[in-house]
Amino acid sequence: MRSKFILLLIIGSISVFLLAFTFLRPTPIYLEIPKGWPKPNYDFSKNSLTEEGFQLGRQLFYDPILSKDSTISCASCHLQATGFTHVDHSLSHGIDGKIGTRNSMTMMNLAWSKTFMWDGGVNHLDVQALNPITSSVEMNETLANVVLKLQKSEQYKSLFIAAFGDNSITGQRILKALSQFELMLVSSNSKYDKVMRKEALFTNQEQNGYQLFKTNCASCHSEPLFTNGEYENNGIPIDTTLNDIGRQRITEKSEDYLKFKIPTLRNIQFTNPYMHDGRFNKLTEVIKHYNSIGNNKKVSKQLKKSMNLTDNERVDLVAFLLTLTDNEFLFDKRFVYPR
């Protein structure tokens, strides 16, 4: 009788343990690859997405604890409503009001990116965040110190347990959690996407703009990501107050002088100012620039010929670019400040 009771007790506690373990295990989530899109570049086998990992990353993304004096978070320069970039500032500003040398990039569809930053100096999404964290004009912090600060927080301890199974807080886990949040930032529900899926129709003007886009812009801003991920010299003269030589700083090759990342055009309606140094505030200025590049020997080969669009054609092209706005993405509740 007694031994039966003990046996039951053992079986009972084992099943409670197993049940608890099932509930404690992070819930897997998957990145949905939009129909017709290429295979993502990110290796998910090294960082399996989970709801808990994503939520931890989201918490970190919005937490100024990443900066030396707890004033700057990732979201300080990457606001959701503007395609996760910084508006109203040509150059982004960070800690103590210090100003950087570049316009912060947008953040979307990052799982498909092979390289990161305007100069492509970063080779993997996981290690991108080291740049803003350690930059003296952005967060001016070290990753080692972020680890120490997070280890003191009971809230983060439980978030790390939920995401990774134990409360060990390491640099690797911080970076992988941030990646999990960033990987989920997929923008694929603009009007353009709906037209491609045959769920909507372009107006005549948008359709005309789309044709002009395909002829004049798509070799670099290729569909469906609206970037081919490469680096080009788009003919804007160097700003002599910044002397930013672009990709050449990374590769040390003279042919990379003034080459910068080709940014995506998705959500371009709200991602102003434009270019690596934010020199153009309006979309019409950008198009004007490409319309009259003229004789610039250094410019990339795709831009050697000016577009020479008429005034009406330029209006049509802008109308098409506005169809790349994805309000579902810009206002997606899963990406907002966590409460």
Partner 1 sequence: MRSKLPHVLFFTLFFQWIYSQEKKENSSLQFKIKYENESLIQNKKYISLSKDTLQLETFRFYVSNIKFILNDNSVISEDNSYHLIDFEDSNTQIISIQKKSNLEIKKVVFSLGIDSTASVSGALSGDLDPTKGMYWAWQSGYINFKIEGKSSSCKTRNNGFQFHIGGYLKPNYAIRTIELETNNSNFEINVDLAKLFNEIKLSEINSIMIPGSKAMDIADIAKLLFSISESLSNEK
Q: How far is the CB of 149 from partner 1 (least distance, A)?
A: 12
Element (H, E) at 174: helix 171-183
Which residue bears the tokens 């009971």? 154
Closest CA to 134 of 103, 175, 78: 175
Positions touching partner 1 (CB under 8 A) are 43, 46-47, 117, 121-127, 130-131, 133-135, 142-144, 147, 170-172, 175-176, 179, 250, 252
| Residue 35 φ/ψ, nearest 5 degrees | -55, 130
**146 or 265, CB closer to partner 1?**
146
Q: How far is the CB of 176 from partner 1 (least distance, A)?
A: 6
**206 or 277, CB closer to partner 1?**
277
Q: How far is the CB of 179 from partner 1 (least distance, A)?
A: 7
Q: How far is the CB of 163 from partner 1 (least distance, A)?
A: 14
Q: Write the DSSP symbol of residue 337.
A: P
| Residue 67 φ/ψ, nearest 5 degrees | -100, 160
Which residue bears the tokens 């010299």? 233
**105 or 133, CB closer to partner 1?**
133
From residue 48, alpha-carbon distances to 255, 306, 313, 337 in Å are 38, 46, 46, 23
From residue 141, alpha-carbon distances to 56, 57, 70, 146 in Å are 20, 18, 10, 7
Q: How far is the CB of 144 from partner 1 (least distance, A)?
A: 4
**118 or 210, CB closer to partner 1?**
118
Q: Write the DSSP symbol of residue 38.
A: P
**115 or 300, CB closer to partner 1?**
115
